Structure 1
Amino acid sequence: MASVVDLITYPVKGCAGVRVSQAQLTPAGLPHDRSFMVTDTGGVFRSQRRDPRLALIRPEPSPDGERLTLRAPGQEPLEVAVDLESARGDVELFGEPFRAIDQGAAVARWLSDFLGKDSRLVRVPPEHDRIADGLTPGTSGWADSSPLHMISLASLDELNRRITEAGRDPLPMSRFRPNIVVDGWSEPHREDLARHIEVGDTALAFAKLAVRCAVTLVDQDTGAKPGPEPLRTLATYRRGPDKGVIFGSKFSVLRTGKLGLGDELGVTAWESHTGTGS
C-alpha cells in the first residue's frame, strides 16, 4: 500500500517550499500553496526559468496566513503584514490576465535587492476563481496549472538509476518541486495511472501529466544550473502524447479535509495506460 511520505507547500511561486506533517487540504491544494507570486514591475510573473535565485528565498507564512516572513542568504529577514484589502491590479501568468493584490513597497525593495531586478510581490485575492484545465479541472492559485503535484519515490529511483548508469550523479526530489511524495509502489510512474485517490479525509482526481521545463535544471539549494539533468535523461524515455518531457502528475481536489504524513492512498480508479514512450 502506498502512503504519503512528504508534503510540501510553496507559499511564493518559484521560491523554496515549506514541509508540513499534516494539513487541511483546500480546493486550491495545500494551505498557502502559490498564494503569492513575484512579478516584474509590469505584472508579469517571475520564474526560476529566468530567475533561479528565487529558489533561495524561504517564505514562512504564519498559520493564520496574516503574516509572511521572507529569508534569503545575505538579506535581513523581512516580515510582511499580508494585505487582502488594497485595490486589485493586473498581472500576467503564462500570458493569461489575472487580478492580484500588491503587497507594498518594502517587500518590493527586498525582492529587488536580492534578485537584482525590479520586482513586486502580489497575492491571490479572496475572490480569485481561476480554474486550471485537465481531465478533472480544479481550483488553483498561482501554480503553473493544477493545484497538486504528486511524484512517487519509485519514479525518482528509476530516473536516478538511468542517470547513474550513464555515469552522472543522482538528483534529489526537490528538483521537481512536488506537493505530495508517495512511497510504497513497486513500479515507477504509478501516479500517472491513478485516476481517483482517497487519502486521509480527502479525495483527489487526476488532471494531467506534469510536463517538465528548465526549472528542473535548477539546484534548489544553490540557485544554480549545474547541468542538463534531469531533462537529458527524461527525454530518452519519458515523452508525453505531445512529445513534451513528463515526470509526475497533477491532481485536482475533489474533497477537502485533513491530509498527513503516513496516510495511505486508496486508488479507486486506474487508467490502463498513459500513452508515454519508453
Structure 2
Amino acid sequence: MQEPNLTIHSLHVHPIKSCAGIAVDEVLLVETGLEFDRAWMLVDEAGGFVSQRELPRLQLVQPTLRHSDLLLRAPGMLALHLSLDAVEGACRVRVWDDEVAAYDMGDLAAQWFSDFAGRTLRLVRFDPGQRRRCDPAWSGGVDAEAAFADGFPLLVASTASLDELNRRLAARGHAPVTMARLRPNIVLDGLDAHGEDFVDTVTFDTPEGPVVLKLTKPCTRCTIPNVDPATGERGTEPGDTLAGYRADARMGGAPTFGMNAVIVEGVERTLRAGARGTATIAF
C-alpha cells in the first residue's frame, strides 16, 4: 500500500490544561510533547486537577505565549502575566491516578483563577524533573512520558475528520464546530476522514532531522467537546453526533476522535505548520 503524503495543517499548544489553546506556526518538540503544552494545571484545595468537565468556564481563559511570559486574559478580569522562568514552592498534585511533583505559581495566580471560577483554585506548573510515564499497554513499545496531558504527549487529528463530523452535524440540523473543541496538538491534511485511526507512524522532515511519531491509542471523548469556545457553555453537541457514528469497539464502545501519539524520534527538533511528511499504515 502506498504511504499517504501528509501536510501539517496546524499546530496547537494548550499551555494550561483545560483552558483555551493557541495556534502556532512552529513549536519545539520536547520529551512531553509540544513545548509548554499542558505545562500548567489548575488544582483544588486537595491538589486534584480541575478541568472543563466541572468548570466549562475555563474555556474562556485565553493564553498568549510571549518571549518571557504567559499572558492570560478572561472576561471581566484584568490580564495576568506569568513569567516563564519563575515558580514558587514545590508541591505534589494529582492528575487522574498519577501523583506528580509540581510547583505552585503563587497567591496572585491562585486569586485570579479563584475569582474567575468562583471557587478556590491554585495554578501549578509541571516539574520538568518529574517523569510521568504513559501507559505501557498503549505506548507501542516506546518509553513515553507526558506532562499534565490526560495520558499521552500528543493528540493527532485530521481536517478530513472534522469535515466529516461537520457534515453529519449539518445533516442533523446543527451548526458546524471548529477544531478548538477537539483540542488536538497536530492537525493533518492528506488523510481520509478518520484515516488517522489506521496510521501507525508519521514522519516529518525538519532542518534538524526527522520527527517520527507513533499513533497508539484512540482518543475517547468526554463532555469537553460540548463546551462552546465562544461562550464557555456546555451543550450536547458534537458529543451526541459522535456517539452515533464513532463508537469504538477498541475502547469499550466509547466515541473517539483523533489518536494519541508518542514520540519515536525528534525531541529538540522544531515542527512547523505546512511541513510535509508521510505515514505508514497499521495492519
Structure 1 or 2: more strand by fraction:
2
Per-residue CA deviation, residues 109-158 of structure 1 (Å, 9 max, x unaligned), is: 00000111110000011211011122335211100111111111111111
Contact 1:175 1:218 in 2 (8 A): yes
Root-mean-square deviation (Å):
1.5
> Which residue is 1:81 aligned to?
83
Match of 1:193 among 191, 195, 198: 198
**Residues 259, 26 of structure 1: alpha-carbon distance in 2 compared, 3 angstrom cutoff:** same
AA paired with 2:34?
A: L
CA drift at 1:84: 5.7
Per-residue CA deviation, residues 96-118 of structure 1 (Å, 9 max, x unaligned), is: 21121101001100000011111
> Which residue is 2:282 aligned to?
271
What percentage of aligned pairs have identical amino acids? 36
Question: Normalised by the size of structure 1, how large is the TM-score?
Answer: 0.91
Question: Normalised by the size of structure 2, how large is the TM-score?
Answer: 0.90
Per-residue CA deviation, residues 148-196 of structure 1 (Å, 9 max, x unaligned), is: 11111111111111111122222111110111111122x2111111111
Match of 1:96 among 82, 95, 98: 98
Q: Which stretch shifts more, 82-91 or 166-175? A: 82-91
Once residues 229 and 101 of structure 1 are traced to their aligned partners in structure 2, the CA distance between those partners, rounded to angstroms, is 36
Match of 1:239 among 232, 239, 247: 247
> Which residue is 1:70 aligned to?
72
AA paired with 2:54?
A: R
**What secondary structure does 1:92 align onto?**
strand
CA drift at 1:231: 1.5
Contact 1:150 1:249 in 2 (8 A): yes
AA paired with 1:211?
A: T
AA paired with 2:58?
A: L
> Which residue is 1:218 aligned to?
227
AA paired with 2:100?
A: F
> Which residue is 1:172 aligned to?
178
**Residues 263, 90 of structure 1: alpha-carbon distance in 2 compared, 3 angstrom cutoff:** same
Counting matched residue pairs gives: 267
Per-residue CA deviation, residues 19-71 of structure 1 (Å, 9 max, x unaligned), is: 110112112111100000011121111100110111111122333xx532211
AA paired with 1:114?
A: F
Q: Which stretch shifts more, 110-119 or 125-134? A: 125-134
**What secondary structure does 1:178 align onto?**
coil
Any stretches of 5+ residues in structure 1 without a counterpart?
273-278
**What secondary structure does 2:150 align onto?**
coil
Once residues 82 and 271 of structure 1 are traced to their aligned partners in structure 2, the CA distance between those partners, rounded to angstroms, is 39
Once residues 261 and 126 of structure 2 are traced to their aligned partners in structure 1, the CA distance between those partners, rounded to angstroms, is 20
Per-residue CA deviation, residues 6-31 of structure 1 (Å, 9 max, x unaligned), is: 11101110111111101121121111
**What secondary structure does 1:48 align onto?**
coil
Contact 2:87 2:106 in 1 (8 A): no
Q: Tell me, yes or no, if structure 1 residue 155 matches structure 2 residue 161.
A: yes
**What secondary structure does 1:3 align onto?**
strand
Q: Which stretch shifts more, 105-114 or 176-185? A: 176-185
CA drift at 1:243: 1.0
Q: Tell me, yes or no, if structure 1 residue 56 matches structure 2 residue 65.
A: no
Q: Tell me, yes or no, if structure 1 residue 135 matches structure 2 residue 139.
A: yes
Once residues 195 and 83 of structure 2 are traced to their aligned partners in structure 1, the CA distance between those partners, rounded to angstroms, is 41
AA paired with 1:31?
A: E
Any stretches of 5+ residues in structure 2 without a counterpart?
none
**What secondary structure does 1:156 align onto?**
helix
